[in-house]
Protein backbone atom coordinates (compact mmCIF):
# COMPACT_ATOMS: atom_id res chain seq x y z
CA UNK A 1 0.00 0.00 0.00
CA UNK A 2 1.66 3.32 -1.04
CA UNK A 3 2.13 5.98 1.68
CA UNK A 4 -0.41 8.84 1.32
CA UNK A 5 1.21 11.96 -0.14
CA UNK A 6 0.46 14.20 2.82
CA UNK A 7 2.66 15.73 5.50
CA UNK A 8 2.59 18.23 8.34
CA UNK A 9 4.67 21.43 8.00
CA UNK A 10 5.39 22.18 11.66
CA UNK A 11 6.25 25.62 13.04
CA UNK A 12 10.00 26.10 13.51
CA UNK A 13 11.04 27.63 16.80
CA UNK A 14 14.48 29.15 17.40
CA UNK A 15 14.94 28.24 21.08
CA UNK A 16 18.18 30.24 20.93
CA UNK A 17 19.56 32.47 18.18
CA UNK A 18 23.01 34.01 18.41
CA UNK A 19 24.17 36.24 15.57
CA UNK A 20 27.90 35.68 15.13
CA UNK A 21 28.41 38.40 12.54
CA UNK A 22 27.53 39.78 9.12
CA UNK A 23 29.19 38.17 6.11
CA UNK A 24 30.52 39.84 2.99
CA UNK A 25 27.48 38.54 1.04
CA UNK A 26 25.14 40.46 3.38
CA UNK A 27 23.78 37.35 5.13
CA UNK A 28 24.43 36.82 8.83
CA UNK A 29 26.21 33.84 10.39
CA UNK A 30 23.98 32.40 13.07
CA UNK A 31 24.13 29.77 15.76
CA UNK A 32 20.65 28.60 16.66
CA UNK A 33 19.09 25.69 18.51
CA UNK A 34 16.03 24.93 16.42
CA UNK A 35 13.06 22.85 17.57
CA UNK A 36 9.68 22.07 16.03
CA UNK A 37 6.19 22.56 17.42
CA UNK A 38 3.26 20.19 17.44
CA UNK A 39 1.28 22.79 15.49
CA UNK A 40 1.69 23.66 11.81
CA UNK A 41 0.31 23.78 8.28
CA UNK A 42 -0.73 20.70 6.28
CA UNK A 43 0.33 19.86 2.74
CA UNK A 44 -1.01 17.22 0.35
CA UNK A 45 0.19 16.33 -3.16
CA UNK A 46 -2.15 14.97 -5.80
CA UNK A 47 0.00 13.49 -8.58
CA UNK A 48 -0.74 15.00 -12.00
CA UNK A 49 0.79 16.31 -15.18
CA UNK A 50 1.79 19.86 -14.11
CA UNK A 51 2.73 21.80 -10.99
CA UNK A 52 -0.13 23.67 -9.29
CA UNK A 53 -1.13 24.88 -5.83
CA UNK A 54 -4.39 25.48 -3.97
CA UNK A 55 -4.23 27.23 -0.61
CA UNK A 56 -6.99 27.26 1.99
CA UNK A 57 -7.12 27.67 5.78
CA UNK A 58 -7.40 30.64 8.15
CA UNK A 59 -4.16 32.41 7.15
CA UNK A 60 -4.32 31.60 3.40
CA UNK A 61 -5.18 35.21 2.42
CA UNK A 62 -1.95 36.44 4.07
CA UNK A 63 0.42 34.05 2.30
CA UNK A 64 0.66 36.04 -0.97
CA UNK A 65 -0.07 34.82 -4.49
CA UNK A 66 0.06 31.12 -5.29
CA UNK A 67 2.72 31.77 -7.97
CA UNK A 68 5.05 33.36 -5.37
CA UNK A 69 4.38 30.72 -2.72
CA UNK A 70 7.54 29.06 -1.40
CA UNK A 71 5.90 25.66 -2.09
CA UNK A 72 5.99 26.45 -5.81
CA UNK A 73 9.49 27.98 -5.63
CA UNK A 74 10.90 24.83 -4.01
CA UNK A 75 9.03 22.52 -6.40
CA UNK A 76 10.27 24.43 -9.47
CA UNK A 77 13.86 24.39 -8.18
CA UNK A 78 13.67 20.60 -7.76
CA UNK A 79 12.01 20.10 -11.17
CA UNK A 80 14.90 22.10 -12.73
CA UNK A 81 17.39 19.66 -11.20
CA UNK A 82 15.76 16.25 -11.68
CA UNK A 83 14.96 15.12 -15.24
CA UNK A 84 11.39 13.84 -15.61
CA UNK A 85 10.43 14.69 -12.02
CA UNK A 86 6.87 13.44 -11.32
CA UNK A 87 4.83 16.40 -10.04
CA UNK A 88 1.19 17.31 -9.32
CA UNK A 89 -1.14 19.69 -7.52
CA UNK A 90 -0.33 20.73 -3.95
CA UNK A 91 -3.12 21.46 -1.46
CA UNK A 92 -1.86 23.66 1.38
CA UNK A 93 -3.92 24.26 4.51
CA UNK A 94 -2.39 27.40 5.97
CA UNK A 95 -2.86 27.91 9.72
CA UNK A 96 0.41 29.47 10.88
CA UNK A 97 0.75 33.24 11.03
CA UNK A 98 2.72 34.63 8.08
CA UNK A 99 6.02 36.58 8.33
CA UNK A 100 6.08 35.50 11.95
CA UNK A 101 9.57 34.14 12.79
CA UNK A 102 8.33 30.55 12.86
CA UNK A 103 9.31 29.68 9.29
CA UNK A 104 5.81 28.81 8.08
CA UNK A 105 6.69 29.36 4.43
CA UNK A 106 10.03 27.57 4.84
CA UNK A 107 8.35 24.58 6.49
CA UNK A 108 5.73 24.48 3.70
CA UNK A 109 8.52 24.54 1.08
CA UNK A 110 10.39 21.76 2.88
CA UNK A 111 7.16 19.74 3.12
CA UNK A 112 6.72 20.13 -0.66
CA UNK A 113 10.24 18.79 -1.23
CA UNK A 114 9.54 15.82 1.11
CA UNK A 115 6.37 14.95 -0.83
CA UNK A 116 8.06 15.28 -4.24
CA UNK A 117 10.97 13.17 -2.98
CA UNK A 118 8.51 10.50 -1.77
CA UNK A 119 6.58 10.52 -5.08
CA UNK A 120 9.83 10.11 -7.03
CA UNK A 121 11.49 7.55 -4.75
CA UNK A 122 14.28 9.98 -3.82
CA UNK A 123 15.77 10.22 -0.30
CA UNK A 124 15.46 13.71 1.26
CA UNK A 125 19.24 13.59 1.56
CA UNK A 126 19.50 13.54 -2.28
CA UNK A 127 21.82 16.40 -3.39
CA UNK A 128 19.15 17.88 -5.70
CA UNK A 129 16.62 17.99 -2.83
CA UNK A 130 19.18 19.58 -0.51
CA UNK A 131 20.16 22.15 -3.14
CA UNK A 132 16.54 23.04 -3.92
CA UNK A 133 15.98 23.56 -0.18
CA UNK A 134 19.02 25.81 0.22
CA UNK A 135 18.13 27.92 -2.81
CA UNK A 136 14.52 28.35 -1.64
CA UNK A 137 15.52 30.10 1.60
CA UNK A 138 17.92 30.09 4.55
CA UNK A 139 15.46 28.28 6.86
CA UNK A 140 14.34 25.58 4.41
CA UNK A 141 17.22 23.06 4.94
CA UNK A 142 16.54 22.77 8.70
CA UNK A 143 12.85 22.17 7.96
CA UNK A 144 13.54 19.29 5.50
CA UNK A 145 13.74 16.76 8.34
CA UNK A 146 11.97 18.63 11.14
CA UNK A 147 13.86 17.42 14.20
CA UNK A 148 15.59 19.55 16.85
CA UNK A 149 19.17 20.37 15.86
CA UNK A 150 21.80 23.10 15.87
CA UNK A 151 21.77 25.32 12.80
CA UNK A 152 24.81 27.38 11.84
CA UNK A 153 26.05 29.59 9.01
CA UNK A 154 23.10 31.23 7.29
CA UNK A 155 21.16 27.99 7.82
CA UNK A 156 23.19 25.72 5.52
CA UNK A 157 25.20 23.97 8.27
CA UNK A 158 23.10 21.51 10.22
CA UNK A 159 24.10 19.44 13.23
CA UNK A 160 22.78 15.94 13.92
CA UNK A 161 19.19 15.46 15.10
CA UNK A 162 18.99 15.93 18.87
CA UNK A 163 16.77 14.12 21.31
CA UNK A 164 15.77 17.06 23.49
CA UNK A 165 13.72 16.63 26.64
CA UNK A 166 10.12 17.46 25.64
CA UNK A 167 9.26 21.11 26.25
CA UNK A 168 5.80 22.56 26.86
CA UNK A 169 5.26 25.98 25.37
CA UNK A 170 2.87 28.69 24.33
CA UNK A 171 3.32 30.50 21.02
CA UNK A 172 1.97 34.03 20.84
CA UNK A 173 1.72 36.22 17.76
CA UNK A 174 0.12 39.67 17.94
CA UNK A 175 -1.07 39.22 14.35
CA UNK A 176 1.33 41.78 12.91
CA UNK A 177 3.70 40.66 10.13
CA UNK A 178 7.42 41.36 10.63
CA UNK A 179 9.64 41.02 7.55
CA UNK A 180 12.96 39.23 8.23
CA UNK A 181 15.18 41.61 6.15
CA UNK A 182 13.91 44.63 8.14
CA UNK A 183 15.02 43.02 11.42
CA UNK A 184 18.50 42.09 10.16
CA UNK A 185 18.80 45.66 8.82
CA UNK A 186 17.79 47.12 12.21
CA UNK A 187 20.54 45.02 13.83
CA UNK A 188 22.85 47.43 12.00
CA UNK A 189 25.96 45.26 11.45
CA UNK A 190 28.39 46.19 8.65
CA UNK A 191 29.79 43.44 6.36
CA UNK A 192 32.59 41.67 8.25
CA UNK A 193 31.43 43.01 11.62
CA UNK A 194 30.89 40.46 14.41
CA UNK A 195 28.42 40.54 17.26
CA UNK A 196 28.83 37.46 19.42
CA UNK A 197 31.06 34.44 19.86
CA UNK A 198 28.80 32.61 22.29
CA UNK A 199 28.54 28.85 22.05
CA UNK A 200 25.60 27.39 23.92
CA UNK A 201 25.56 23.66 24.63
CA UNK A 202 21.81 23.58 25.37
CA UNK A 203 21.53 20.21 23.60
CA UNK A 204 23.67 18.59 26.28
CA UNK A 205 20.80 18.85 28.77
CA UNK A 206 19.30 15.53 29.79
CA UNK A 207 16.25 16.75 31.72
CA UNK A 208 13.66 19.48 30.96
CA UNK A 209 14.89 21.38 34.01
CA UNK A 210 18.54 21.30 32.88
CA UNK A 211 17.50 22.35 29.36
CA UNK A 212 15.48 25.30 30.69
CA UNK A 213 18.45 26.39 32.81
CA UNK A 214 20.76 26.29 29.77
CA UNK A 215 18.24 28.05 27.53
CA UNK A 216 17.94 30.85 30.08
CA UNK A 217 21.69 31.48 29.70
CA UNK A 218 21.31 31.91 25.92
CA UNK A 219 19.53 34.63 23.91
CA UNK A 220 17.85 35.64 20.72
CA UNK A 221 20.09 38.43 19.40
CA UNK A 222 17.35 39.51 16.99
CA UNK A 223 15.03 40.52 19.86
CA UNK A 224 16.36 44.10 20.36
CA UNK A 225 16.21 45.05 16.64
CA UNK A 226 12.82 43.32 16.20
CA UNK A 227 11.42 45.32 19.12
CA UNK A 228 12.48 48.50 17.31
CA UNK A 229 10.68 47.33 14.17
CA UNK A 230 7.54 46.18 16.03
CA UNK A 231 7.07 47.27 19.68
CA UNK A 232 4.10 44.88 20.14
CA UNK A 233 6.75 42.13 20.44
CA UNK A 234 7.84 43.68 23.76
CA UNK A 235 4.24 43.71 24.93
CA UNK A 236 3.83 40.02 24.03
CA UNK A 237 7.08 39.10 25.82
CA UNK A 238 5.94 40.98 28.93
CA UNK A 239 2.53 39.27 28.98
CA UNK A 240 4.09 35.81 28.64
CA UNK A 241 6.67 36.48 31.35
CA UNK A 242 3.82 37.42 33.73
CA UNK A 243 1.83 34.20 33.21
CA UNK A 244 1.89 31.77 36.16
CA UNK A 245 4.90 29.43 36.30
CA UNK A 246 6.54 30.75 33.10
CA UNK A 247 10.16 29.53 32.99
CA UNK A 248 11.31 31.46 29.90
CA UNK A 249 9.87 34.08 27.52
CA UNK A 250 11.71 34.62 24.21
CA UNK A 251 11.14 35.61 20.59
CA UNK A 252 11.51 33.05 17.78
CA UNK A 253 13.55 33.93 14.66
CA UNK A 254 13.04 37.52 13.56
CA UNK A 255 9.59 37.71 15.24
CA UNK A 256 6.95 38.69 15.89
CA UNK A 257 6.05 35.28 17.40
CA UNK A 258 7.24 34.88 20.98
CA UNK A 259 7.14 31.72 23.07
CA UNK A 260 6.81 30.90 26.74
CA UNK A 261 8.13 27.65 28.23
CA UNK A 262 6.55 25.87 31.19
CA UNK A 263 7.21 22.78 33.30
CA UNK A 264 4.27 20.77 32.02
CA UNK A 265 1.36 20.70 29.62
CA UNK A 266 -1.18 21.94 32.22
CA UNK A 267 0.94 25.03 33.05
CA UNK A 268 1.31 25.79 29.32
CA UNK A 269 -2.46 25.45 28.78
CA UNK A 270 -3.08 27.80 31.71
CA UNK A 271 -0.50 30.29 30.34
CA UNK A 272 -2.31 30.23 26.97
CA UNK A 273 -5.66 30.78 28.70
CA UNK A 274 -4.29 33.80 30.59
CA UNK A 275 -2.87 35.44 27.43
CA UNK A 276 -6.07 34.75 25.45
CA UNK A 277 -8.19 36.41 28.12
CA UNK A 278 -6.00 39.54 27.92
CA UNK A 279 -5.58 39.61 24.13
CA UNK A 280 -8.50 37.66 22.61
CA UNK A 281 -7.57 38.70 19.04
CA UNK A 282 -3.97 37.50 19.14
CA UNK A 283 -2.87 34.07 17.85
CA UNK A 284 -2.14 31.96 20.94
CA UNK A 285 -1.27 28.25 20.80
CA UNK A 286 -0.23 25.87 23.56
CA UNK A 287 2.04 23.22 22.04
CA UNK A 288 4.81 20.75 22.75
CA UNK A 289 8.26 21.44 21.29
CA UNK A 290 10.89 18.88 20.37
Ligand X SMILES: C[C@@](CO)(OP(=O)(O)O)[C@H](O)COP(=O)(O)OP(=O)(O)OC[C@H]1O[C@@H](n2ccc(N)nc2=O)[C@H](O)[C@@H]1O
Ligand Y SMILES: Nc1ncnc2c1ncn2[C@@H]1O[C@H](COP(=O)(O)OP(=O)(O)O)[C@@H](O)[C@H]1O
Q: Are 141 and 126 in contact (CB under 8 A)?
A: no
- The residues that bridge with 8 in the sheet, in sequence order, are 42
Minimum distance from residue 14 beta carbon to ligand Y (Å): 10
Question: Is position 154 an interface residue for ligand X (rule: CB under 6 A)?
Answer: yes
From the candidates 94, 139, 221, 285, give the one annotated as an active-site residue: 139
- The residues that bridge with 37 in the sheet, in sequence order, are 289
Question: Is position 110 an interface residue for ligand Y (rule: CB under 6 A)?
Answer: no
Q: Binding ligand X by CB under 6 A: which of 101, 141, 169, 225?
A: 101
Question: Is position 169 an interface residue for ligand Y (rule: CB under 6 A)?
Answer: no
Q: Are 158 and 150 in contact (CB under 8 A)?
A: yes
Contacting range for ligand X; rule: CB under 6 A; set: 48-56, 61-69, 177-185, 235-243: 177-185
Question: Is position 14 an interface residue for ligand X (rule: CB under 6 A)?
Answer: yes
Residue number with the smallest Cβ distance to ligand Y: 105
State residue 127 phi and psi, 5-degree precision.
-55, -35
Q: Which does residue 99 bind out of ligand X, ligand Y, none, counting CB within 5 to 8 angstroms by kind?
A: ligand Y
Question: Is position 182 an interface residue for ligand Y (rule: CB under 6 A)?
Answer: no
Contacting range for ligand Y; rule: CB under 6 A; set: 63-71, 127-135, 189-197, 266-274: 63-71
Q: Which of residues 107-146 bind ligand X (CB under 6 A)?
A: 137-139
By C-beta, is 71 or 215 nearer to ligand Y?
Answer: 71
Q: Are 100 and 257 in contact (CB under 8 A)?
A: yes
Is 103 annotated as ligand-binding? yes
Q: Which of residues 233-262 bind ligand Y (CB under 6 A)?
A: 253-254
By C-beta, is 105 or 174 nearer to ligand Y?
Answer: 105
Question: Is position 108 an interface residue for ligand Y (rule: CB under 6 A)?
Answer: yes
- The residues that bridge with 79 in the sheet, in sequence order, are none
Is 9 annotated as ligand-binding? no
Contacting range for ligand Y; rule: CB under 6 A; set: 31-39, 95-103, 189-197, 274-282: 95-103
Q: Which does residue 64 bind out of ligand X, ligand Y, none, counting CB within 5 to 8 angstroms by kind?
A: ligand Y
- What distance in Å separates the CA atoms of residue 233 and residue 147, rounded to the nearest whole number? 26
By C-beta, is 14 or 230 nearer to ligand X?
Answer: 14
Residue number with the smallest Cβ distance to ligand X: 253
- What distance in Å separates the CA atoms of residue 130 and residue 4, rounded to the nearest whole number? 22
Question: Is position 155 an interface residue for ligand Y (rule: CB under 6 A)?
Answer: no
Among 281, 237, 252, which residue's Cα sits nearest to residue 167? 252
End-to-end Cα, the chain, rounded Å: 30
Q: Binding ligand Y by CB under 6 A: which of 38, 64, 153, 224?
A: 64
Q: What is the three-class DSSP state of 40?
A: strand
Strand pairing class (87-93; 52-56): parallel
Active site residue 139: yes
Helices (H), the chain: 70-79, 104-119, 127-136, 140-144, 180-187, 208-217, 223-229, 232-241, 265-278
* C-alpha radius of gyration, the chain, whole number: 19
- What distance in Å separates the CA atoms of residue 63 and residue 211, rounded to the nearest whole number? 34
Applying CB under 6 A, which residues contact ligand Y?
63-64, 68-71, 98-106, 108, 139, 180, 253-254
Catalytically active residues, by annotation:
12, 139
Amino acid sequence: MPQPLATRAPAKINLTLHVLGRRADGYHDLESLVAFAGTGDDLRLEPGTGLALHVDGPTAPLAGSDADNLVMKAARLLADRVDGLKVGTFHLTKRLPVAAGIGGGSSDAAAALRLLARLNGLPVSHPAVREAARLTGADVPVCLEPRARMMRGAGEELGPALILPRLFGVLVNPRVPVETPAVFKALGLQPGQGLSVAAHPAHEASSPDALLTLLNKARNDLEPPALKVQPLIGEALGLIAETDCCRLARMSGSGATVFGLYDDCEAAAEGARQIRSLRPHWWVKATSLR
